[in-house]
Amino acid sequence: MDTTKDIDLKELLEIIVKKWWLIILLTIIGFGSAYFVSTKYITPIYEAKTVLYIGSEDSSLGSIGISLGQLEANSQLLVDYKQIALTRLVINEVMKNTGYNISYDNFQNNIVIENISGSRLFTVGFKNPDPATAKLISDELAKQLTVAASQIVGVQNIRILDQSSVPQTPVSPNILLNTVVGGALGLLVAFIIIVIMFALKDTVKNEEDIEKLIGISVLGSIPEFKGEAK
């Protein structure tokens, strides 16, 4: 005889419907908690980006007719320049000229270098809680990169095309995403609680419950009489 309680999906669904208020409540709490933490306890981070251009040493910005070999060479140079920007040679010079002093590792972690697809342009960016500082560091970093590239690579084929502007919108935290995730977690917790309540529910209400519990058909039942008290 198997006395294991089988999962009755219909009964579970009924409990979920009855506990609709719990689902809504925990979902709202999840939304609200994530929004509150994201706006009150997570420091906004801003990112400024300076645009640079890679060309041949004797080319102008408007030059055309770039060969496939030149494009491949520029692609390799971009990889080299990304690594040069992360060196102590560049970072120490940036910190000296801007007065912004943090550890070398932290400075590296806040540098963002991205190439612009399909072009010889790339961006050098810096992330900081202060948007003005982010702009200052980004522009100085781009400047020192051009100097270091000239010294190390030996050619002057990199130049600043467009200086950064003071960022107005933080890149993190993503309040919308955090809020949605918080709501989803609240919803998940509500369903987990309901499933636990269903698993612990062992009340016998009728003949069907007895049959499910002991696996034997009920032959009869004793009716409940409500007599007058004497």
What's the residue count for the chain? 230
CA distance 28 to 182: 9
Q: Specify whether 149 is located in the same domain as 181.
A: no
167 located within any domain: no
67 located within any domain: yes
CATH number of domain containing 93: 3.30.70.1130
Given a cut of 70, whether residue 227 has pLDDT beyond it is no
What pLDDT is recorded for position 66?
45
The boundaries of the domain holding residue 56 are 46-162
What pLDDT is recorded for position 186?
95
87 located within any domain: yes
Q: Specify whether 70 is located in the same domain as 153.
A: yes
Q: Specify whether 65 is located in the same domain as 90.
A: yes
Over the stretch 139-177, which tens digit does the pLDDT of each residue have?
999 999 999 988 887 767 788 999 999 999 999 999 999
Q: Specify whether 153 is located in the same domain as 109.
A: yes
What pLDDT is recorded for position 215?
56
What pLDDT is recorded for position 65?
43
CA distance 63 to 65: 7
User: Based on the number of CB atoms within 10 Å of its own CB, is 69 exposed (0-12), middle (13-18) or buried (19 or more)?
Assistant: exposed
Q: Specify whether 52 is located in the same domain as 33.
A: no
82 located within any domain: yes
186 located within any domain: yes
Backbone angles phi, psi at 159, to 5 degrees: -145, 155
Over the stretch 25-35, which tens digit does the pLDDT of each residue have?
999 999 999 99
Over the stretch 70-103, which tens digit does the pLDDT of each residue have?
555 566 777 888 899 999 999 999 999 999 999 9
Say which amino acid occupies 174.
N
CA distance 44 to 183: 21
126 located within any domain: yes
Q: Specify whether 17 is located in the same domain as 109.
A: no
Q: Specify whether 21 is located in the same domain as 62.
A: no
Q: Specify whether 197 is located in the same domain as 91.
A: no
Q: Specify whether 100 is located in the same domain as 180.
A: no
> Which of 109, 132, 162 finishes a domain?
162
Instruction: Quote the number of domains for the chain.
Output: 2
